[in-house]
Amino acid sequence: MDVLYEMWLHAICDFKPELVAKIAPMFEKKSETFSSPETDLFMLRDIGISGEFARRFTEPEFFKRATDIVEYCQNSEIRIITRESEEYPKYLLNTECAPRLLFAKGEYLDVNDKISVSVVGCRKPTDQGKVIARGLGRNLAENGIVSVSGMAEGIDAEMHWGTIESGGKTIAVLAGSVDKIYPKSNEKLYYEILKNGTVISERPPGTVTKKYFYHQRNRIIIGITRGTVFVEGKECSGTSITARLATENNRDVFAVPGNPLNWQSEIANRLISEGAVVVNNLDTPAEYYKKQYPELFKSIGTRRIPDVGAKEHFMNGDEHILNYLTEKGVSVGIDEIAEELGVQINVLSGRLTILCIKGYIRQESGNRYIIVKK
């Protein structure tokens, strides 16, 4: 279908995903004359569309809006992706109410011959959650996996930054338009993503984000990925809606186990009880897909950093933790570690969690940690 004709249908439907999905297929085989015969108007009424709405098909303002959007995109380096485009994520077609149009900025949306995994969670995560999300972003990048999230504050942003830091490719699916940076606190991240991946949306340029857009956006995050990792989030939240969409659309579900006394752990712990893949190591998603698609991994290669020891493999400061626990040789309480190394407990807690996930140390009862001898 011609891009302008498709845009015209979307403009008539005010870019509402459910309405587009209901109406646009009726016109796929019609000649692109930007008008609708009376028979089509009767068809619209048959599916519950009012006569007042049907008259939009004969009103010139919607054709003008469509033309203006197409011209704006052409002048603003915004790509318009239709289902016929090679760039359209084919995996997305296997979801309910798959978008017929996507707007994209940044690099070519190259996911059809790669593994893509989304990482999602709450906007106010724990320090441990932040560290885990960023670590997952790095690990996906190191294994040649495209990471996907929503560029929101919290888990989303940490994951994107982790991928960027490791030179990987990341995709941000925005609730508003691709030319409106939201939240503004992620402005720097937005421009880094444009240099290291793609920003996409189903909303036309100039669209200001509305609350209900996020729920609609989440189906795209799920749709363009083979699986989703849930880091932190509470029930009755946007993350819980994403979890439901992942299950309904038969996507692989991964979850990071958390403290049952913290509300941030509600969704992940529930998903694990329902059969989600437990993320007990940052390698879990990559190792899972290496077994599922070995030939695909051979073609995309790996960016893994050689394992040359803790000093080279971790952020500054981790080697001090490992050296200290190695010297002690027994389990040590977190308070003692913090005092000895001069580190705030909230920062130390996140680093200890990552080291546990990596398998270098083990947590024991009483919030004590011990080096794992190999």
pLDDT digits (tens, 9 = 90+) for 176-218: 999 999 999 999 999 999 998 999 999 999 998 888 899 899 9
The single residue listed with the structure tokens 């996911």 is 111
Alpha helices in 144-198 (DSSP H): 155-165, 187-196
pLDDT digits (tens, 9 = 90+) for 270-307: 999 999 999 988 999 999 999 998 877 765 554 444 33
Angle at 271 between CA 334 and CA 120, to 5 degrees: 75
Q: What is the dihedral of CA 181, 256, 218, 117, to 10 degrees?
A: 80
Enumerate the β-bridge partners of residue 278. Answer: 255
Q: What are phi and psi of 329, to 5 degrees?
A: 75, -5
Q: What distance in Å separates the CA atoms of residue 69 and residue 88, rounded to the nearest whole number?
A: 19
Q: Are 80 and 202 in contact (CB under 8 A)?
A: no
pLDDT digits (tens, 9 = 90+) for 218-263: 999 999 999 999 999 998 888 889 999 999 999 999 999 998 888 8
Any residues with CB less than 8 A from the CB of 171 and at least 6 apart, and which? 109, 111, 116, 146, 147, 148, 149, 193, 197, 198, 199, 200, 224
Q: Classify residue 170 by its DSSP letter.
A: E
> Domains in the chain, please, with CATH?
1-75 (no CATH), 116-300 (3.40.50.450), 310-371 (1.10.10.10)
Range scoring the smallest mean pLDDT among 84-88, 160-164, 255-259, 360-364: 360-364
pLDDT attached to residue 312: 36
Q: What distance in Å separates the CA atoms of residue 227 and residue 120, rounded to the nearest whole number?
A: 11
- Which two three-digit tokens encode residue 86? 């090679």
Q: Classify residue 112 by its DSSP letter.
A: T
pLDDT attached to residue 306: 35
Q: Are 207 and 180 in contact (CB under 8 A)?
A: yes
pLDDT attached to residue 219: 95
Q: Are 155 and 131 in contact (CB under 8 A)?
A: no
pLDDT attached to residue 355: 82
Q: How much is the average pLDDT of 28-51?
A: 60
Angle at 362 between CA 314 and CA 307, to 5 degrees: 30
